[in-house]
Amino acid sequence: MAKPHVWTSVTEWMCLEIKRALKLSYRILAIATIVIFITGFYNLIAFLAGLTSSSIAPTLSQDDITGDWTLAFNGNPRNNGFLDVTVFLEITILDINEHVIATNSTTVLVRAGSSQPFSLIMRIPSDMVPGGKIEEAKGYFQMTMAVRELGNLMGLSQNMRIGSGRT
């Protein structure tokens, strides 16, 4: 009986080793993906748990000379997690016909274990406020907040819209 060629045995052996290496690489990649997901999810929850209503405080004031209104959002969110978090915040004021009256946005990088102050200021012209009474103005307040981490690999976005009634 003829023996198989040595080259064939070496080639078969190399193919088996390559298959084993690929299986091992796949398993390592799957485990690393799960670890990254759990780590990122924990960090996201830790950051969101640290947000309170006092983290972002709105103030409303009126200019006595022009009658224009100023709506300011000042915040100082704290990151209790162990990964840096990027926060995007956009606030828009719309009239009853959904035309933009004022808008502003900011992006803040909150380092792990620290806080980062920010400020959003919008001017609402007095002619957009009927009778100068902001309480009687009709329209919408719209806020978009996005929290991202791990180089924008993980995160969440929230859109909130509050209307002040239609007639």
pTM (2 d.p.): 0.75
Q: Which domain holds residue 48?
A: 1-167
Both tokens of 144, joined, read 């978009």
Closest CA to 148 of 106, 85, 79, 75: 85
Q: Which comes out higher in pLDDT, residue 1 or 150?
A: 150
Q: Is the alpha carbon torsion for 58, 59, 63, 67 positive or negative?
A: positive
- Rounded to an integer, the average pLDDT of 32-51 is 88
Q: Does residue 56 or residue 86 have the better pLDDT?
A: 86
Note the pLDDT tens digit of each residue in 82-121. Answer: 899 999 999 998 888 888 888 999 999 999 989 899 999 9
Q: State residue 65's pLDDT score.
A: 85
Cα Rg, the chain, nearest whole Å: 28
Q: 152: alpha, beta or left, given left = phi > 0 and alpha = psi -120 to 50?
A: left
Residue 128, phi then psi, degrees to nearest 5 = -90, -5
In CATH, what number is assigned to the domain containing residue 105? 2.60.40.10
Which stretches does DSSP call E strand in 32-153?
56-62, 69-75, 85-95, 100-110, 118-124, 139-149
β pairing state of 56-62 and 69-75:
antiparallel
Query: With 0-12 CB in 10 A as exposed, 13-18 as middle and 19+ as buried, what is 94?
Result: middle
Element (H, E) at 15: helix 6-50
The number of folded domains in the chain is: 1
Please give the sequence-ordered ranges of beta strands (E in DSSP) within 4-66, or none if there are none.
56-62
